[in-house]
Every structure is written in structure tokens, then in C-alpha cells.
Structure 1
Amino acid sequence: METKIFKKDEIPEAVELLKNGELVAFPTETVYGLGALATNEKAVKGVYAAKGRPSDNPLIVTVADEKMMAQYVENVPERAQKLIDKFWPGPLTMILPAKEGSLSTAVTGGLPTAAFRCPNDELTHELISQLGAPIVGPSANTSTKPSPTTAEHVYHDLKGKIAGIIDNGPTEIGLESTIIDLSVEEPIVLRPGEITPEDLAKVLGEKVLMNKGTTKTAGVPKAPGMKYRHYAPSAPVYIVDNEKDFNDIPQRDDIGVVALDSVLDKIEAENKFSLGKTIDDAAHNLFNALRFFDNQPDIKEIYVQGFSTGNISAAYMNRLNKSAAGHHFHN
């Protein structure tokens, strides 16, 4: 299969492919997603096959607006409406009770709930609006690999496996959306992102919990990224929590070092990748850094800077801990 790169004026062609059950990757403000018509079970199963993704991992339903979402949920609770008014379109996914029979088990993982997101990207909004139906939207990468933040990343992983990729340049945020479960009594964040529990609590006027689960979650996970290892390059990743410990990293030419400029400027290392100047820069650049070294077969270990402060640090460390399988480097 030839994988075509679509530009802005070629959206109608991408729409036709989706209507015909083909897979098309699409841009968002977080990472690139892999789209299939959410109401076409065969196409949805094709997403699992293309990614090599476990079939008990539910998929996010990507919609053009709340009106489209309302067709697939039992009701839109007041909590959800408050969050929609504040954060949609944007990097927030909400889990709600699904309308019975509206979505196949290939989308929901057999759960009575579904995850909904309305991304802030003009090309993807146009795509779904013209399609007139939602698309599933897991990250457009091979399962377990770092999520794609450019169309080139998608092409690297999925060329020949999908029909097309809509290219809208590098993503703005670089980490996936926050996922909040609104189907339970106390709202809980199942995956951290740029929108924090504190941001959500302020809008909802109630406490928002944070899931402390790991990739060892038993049974069918309620949201993507809760059960299996994610974001992992081939070489093992080690988290460096203290800046001073970078001085003790092995000095070998098969080592990759990923950190802020302020750290890289102070250490001797042959293979460096800059995360930028701030924690926000680091969140934006993390997946690109992991992919950079994953494409170098001579790199045998990757050491990445960890963070404990900053609004997006929880989201950053969530992804990095999964990439490193929880391995930290200590002096």
C-alpha cells in the first residue's frame, strides 16, 4: 500500500479514504493520531493491526464538536458541559457512559464507557466535519514506540500500512491529552496531560483525583496507556532525577543523553539531545528525543532528565516512567 501525504487542500481525498474504511493519520495539538471511521468495526480493527496494539486497549473517539459526541453518550452531564465550555477544542479527553449499541466493542474494549476528545487542529476539525462522523484516534505510531509529533514520525512507523497522513507540521504540545473519567462518583484523571487536575478542579468546583495505577493494571483498562508499556525506544532508558548525577553517567560513545540546555552545557557527552530551556520545552521535545536515539542502532543506553516541578511535570514523568519501565539512574 502506498501511504500518501495530504496537505490542507487535499482533505476531501482523505475523507473519501476514511469513508471507504481506510486508515488516515491526522494532526492534533498534542500528537498525531491514527484515524479510522469509528462506526466501521472492520476499519477500527485495522487500527489495532497497523499499530500492533493489544485489542483490549480502548480507543479515543475523536469528534468535531459536542453535538457529534452527544450522539454516542447516554447524556452529557453538567460536569462534562463545564469542561467542554472551558477546554474544548483542546487537549482534554473525557470518559462518559456510552449509548448502548452506538459504538462497537472494538472501540470501547467491551466497557460501558467511551473516551471522547475534540482536538484543537483546523485540518482535523475540517476532516471530521466533512466526514460527518467521529474517528478513532490513538497515537499514530507502532505500539510501544514513542508517540509521533511530526508527519515524518508517522511515515517512519506506518508507511505501507495506512492509506495516508495529513501533514500540519510539528505538534504544539508534544504529549497526549489529559484523560478524565467522568463516569464515576469522584472525577479522576487517568492520564495526566497539559491540563492538570488542579485546572479541572477549579472549573468543576470539586476535588479531582489522580490515578496512581501503573502499566500492571489488571483487566481491561478504562483509558489508553494504563496497562501496557508505552513510548519505549529499543535501547533501555534511564531517568536521571538529580542534575549532578549526569556527571556520573558512563562516558561511552554508545550512550545518549537527553536534558535541558542548562544541564548539557555542563557535561561531557558525545551524543546529546537538547530538551530546550524549560520543562514546557522538555514536554514538547521528549518523544522527538526518544525517536532521535531510537533511529541510531549504535546507541545502547539513553539517559533522560527527570522533573519534579512545573505544571506539566506529572504528564512528562508519566510518559518518561513508562518509556524507562520505571528505571532511574542514581549515583
Structure 2
Amino acid sequence: MILYLHPDNPEIRKLTQISQSLKKGGVFIFPTDTVYALVADANSKEGTEKLYSLKNMPKNKPISLLCRDISEASQFIEHLPNQTYKMMKKFSPGPYTFILKANKNLPKPCVIHHKDRHIGIRFPDHIYLQELLKIHDGPLTSTSVLTNDEYLTDIDDLELLYGQKVEGVIDGGLLQVEMSTILDCTEETLKVVREGKGFSELGIENI
């Protein structure tokens, strides 16, 4: 089922309904600042397991935690290097995944898939997810929509393949395939895992 939200002022009523469905274990497909992604409530075991099943991912493959801001993310981080904090503050929200050491507060469903206690944190720069995170109680978790090694960017293709498998596909128009930049921040020295969208803006080199 394709769902439509106002591009500038997403309807709070609709977002509230989506939030409630996520709490009950539902999974939605949302546009992000990179590609379309499967999204679930990070605290929902049912939703997280469904997300893995839909993408046919092995249980040991980590997924990202979507947070509304640094304050919320800090609740799940064991150690936040000063360099990383400054970078987060300057470039968030944006197309970046920050890999950090998680603490004991990491949502239980995520612990199953993050044996090394590392977690990818994202602050998506897309109004639909930003507004949803403002009203949703807790973080979300997500993974990009990938079928047969191809990222789906057309809403009709998403509806055809996933319309009957998820609670809703949020129409974000035709997206370009641009992956997030992944930064390993688990040590004091930052390492670039993947150069993606927004990398040149950081002004750093791969180490």
C-alpha cells in the first residue's frame, strides 16, 4: 500500500498512525537522504526480525539505528570521541553512518545482531523520517531496500514487490542511488569504511 505525506508538512495524524504500527511490530518502507529503506522500531523484536526476513539478511549482519538527534543517540553509546561529537554536531542530519561502541542500553532486538557491541548511528536528512522520529518514542532501525543486488528507487517497483509484505510504502518520488558515507568512530582515530554521499564535505582522508 502506497502512502502519501505532504512533502513540506507531513501530517502528524498519519505519522502517529505509522508510529503506532511500528510499535506493534510493523515495517514500513521510507525514502531517506540516500535510498529507500525498510524501517522498524528498534525496540520491537517482531519488527526487527521481519525486517531481516524481508531482506533475507543473515542474523549477524548489523543494521543502523536511526535517532532524532545526538542527545537520543548518546543514550546508546559507550564512548563518544570528541572528534566524532564535533563531526556529528556539524554534519547532522546528513547521509552519514557513524559506527560507535554501544552500551548496555542498546535496544534488546539490536543486541542479537550486534555481537561486537558496535552500532551504526544515523541521523537521516529527510523530512518524513525526521518528523516521525520527533513523535516516535525511541529509535528506529533500518536497512536499505536491495533486491537482486539492485537498489529499488521507483515507488511502483517497491509497491509491486513489497506492497503486500509491509504495512506501507511511503512515496518519496524517484530517488537516486547514493549510499551513505560510513565512518568507524570506535577508536580515537577515525577511519573511513565507505566513501559515499557527502564524503567530500567532511574534508577528511581515508586512513
- For residue 55 of structure 2, the aligned residue among 51, 57, 61 is 51
Is 1:5 aligned with 2:8?
no
- For residue 202 of structure 2, the aligned residue among 200, 203, 227 is 200
Tell me if structure 2 keeps the 8 A contact 1:29–1:174: no
Cα distance in 1 for partners of 2:146, 2:160 equals 9
Residues 105, 17 of structure 1: CA spacing in aligned structure 2 closer, same or farther, 3 A cutoff? closer
Tell me if structure 1 keeps the 8 A contact 2:81–2:187: no
Tell me if structure 2 keeps the 8 A contact 1:55–1:106: no
List gaps (5 residues or longer) in structure 1: 210-331
Which residue does 1:176 correspond to in 2? 179
Residues 201, 4 of structure 1: CA spacing in aligned structure 2 closer, same or farther, 3 A cutoff? closer
Q: Deviations over 1:12-63 (max 9, x none)?
A: 2211211111001111111011110011122111101111122111001111
Is 1:189 aligned with 2:188?
no
**Percent identical residues:** 26
Cα distance in 1 for partners of 2:145, 2:66 equals 13
Greater strand content: 2
How far the C-alpha of 1:140 sits from its partner, in A, is 2.5
Q: Specify which structure has the bigger relative contact order, considering alpha-carbon pairs within 8 angstroms and separated by 6 or more residues.
A: 2
Is 1:33 aligned with 2:31?
no
Local SS of the residue matching 2:182? strand
Local SS of the residue matching 2:99? strand
Superposition map of 1:278-297 within 5 A: none
Cα distance in 1 for partners of 2:177, 2:122 equals 16
Count of residue pairs brought into register by the alignment: 200
How large is the Cα RMSD of the aligned pairs?
2.1
Comparing 111-120 with 154-163, which one deviates more in the overlay? 154-163
In structure 2, what residue type is equivalent to 1:122? I
- For residue 140 of structure 2, the aligned residue among 118, 124, 135 is 135
Local SS of the residue matching 2:120? strand
- For residue 80 of structure 1, the aligned residue among 84, 97, 121 is 84
Q: Deviations over 1:112-146 (max 9, x none)?
A: 1100001111111111211121111101244x431
Tell me if structure 2 keeps the 8 A contact 1:179–1:190: yes
Cα distance in 1 for partners of 2:100, 2:121 equals 8
- For residue 110 of structure 1, the aligned residue among 90, 111, 115 is 115
Q: Deviations over 1:187-217 (max 9, x none)?
A: 2122220233x64354xxxx542xxxxxxxx
Q: Deviations over 1:196-248 (max 9, x none)?
A: 3x64354xxxx542xxxxxxxxxxxxxxxxxxxxxxxxxxxxxxxxxxxxxxx
In structure 2, what residue type is equivalent to 1:161? K
Output the TM-score relative to the length of structure 1. 0.56
Tell me if structure 1 keeps the 8 A contact 2:38–2:144: yes
Tell me if structure 2 keeps the 8 A contact 1:17–1:24: no
Superposition map of 1:202-221 within 5 A: 202=204, 208-209=206-207
Cα distance in 1 for partners of 2:20, 2:194 equals 33
Cα distance in 2 for partners of 1:139, 1:186 equals 28
How far the C-alpha of 1:72 sits from its partner, in A, is 1.0
Local SS of the residue matching 1:102? coil
Q: Deviations over 1:162-206 (max 9, x none)?
A: 1111212233x521211100003432122220233x64354xxxx
Tell me if structure 1 keeps the 8 A contact 2:75–2:105: no
How far the C-alpha of 1:73 sits from its partner, in A, is 0.9
Output the TM-score relative to the length of structure 2. 0.86
- For residue 93 of structure 1, the aligned residue among 79, 94, 97 is 97
Cα distance in 2 for partners of 1:192, 1:153 equals 27
Tell me if structure 1 keeps the 8 A contact 2:29–2:170: yes
Cα distance in 2 for partners of 1:40, 1:149 equals 26
